[in-house]
Amino acid sequence: MALVPAPVYTVTFSFIDGSGSRATTSAYIQQGVAFVDVLARASGLAGLLNIASAGALTGYTVSRSWIEDTQVNPDPQSRVERKGRMIFSADAFKTRMDIPAIAPALVLQDGALDRGLTTIGAIETLMLTDFAGDFTDSRGVSLDALVAAYEAYSRSTRRRLPTRRLEQ
């Protein structure tokens, strides 16, 4: 079981026409090129397409993927609605990451994630220390602390959330 890189970068261009209809089209670039070079190449083609289109190019997305190379066998009882929610601080702001189908063994009786366990601790260390500066909030500010970790449900109401969901 391993993540295998896709052979290409995918560049998806988005257009809008005068009726408000949207369309996308994709082009590909061989792996082995640095991301910044892919962006430059995509930017070049985007410029041409924007000039060439009677509609308007609204933007483009460059993506690189890794695909699991073996048949996946999730726990039959697992449900992605059960999230392991981790709230990080970044300067004065907060950002969150949800782990779909959090493993039940990682959740304490009161709904908090057990931060004493290696699994949760490893995620915290990885995002804050091992790769410091790589993970940011949506403004690009580096994460600096894990301020809360608890189980949540994607369709929960406030009343049904686990009891211990305040910052600890």
Ranges within 8-47 binding another protein (CB under 8 A): 8, 10, 15-21, 23, 25-31, 33, 35, 39, 41-46
Sheet holding 93-100, edge to edge: 93-100, 82-90, 145-153
The two tokens of residue 28 are 């590909």
Question: DSSP code of 3?
Answer: E
Ranges within 94-113 binding another protein (CB under 8 A): 95, 97-104, 106
Site string for another protein, 63-92 (x = CB under 8 A): xxxxxx---xxxxxxxxxx--x--------
Interaction of residue 144 with another protein, rule CB under 8 A: no
Q: CA 16, CA 19: separation in Å to the nearest integer?
A: 8
63-98 burial, b if ≥16 CB within 10 A, otherwise e?
eeeeeeeeeeeeeeeeeeebbbbbbbbbeeeebebe
Shortest Å distance, C-beta 156 to another protein? 15
Three-class DSSP category at 29: strand
Instruction: For another protein, give the closer residue by CB, 65 or 163.
Output: 65
Shortest Å distance, C-beta 144 to another protein? 13
Instruction: For another protein, give the closer residue by CB, 133 or 159.
Output: 133
CB 120 within 8 A of CB 113: yes
Shortest Å distance, C-beta 127 to another protein? 7
Instruction: For another protein, give the closer residue by CB, 93 or 110.
Output: 93
Ranges within 114-143 binding another protein (CB under 8 A): 119-120, 122-123, 126-127, 130-131, 133-138, 140, 142
The two tokens of residue 152 are 């949540």
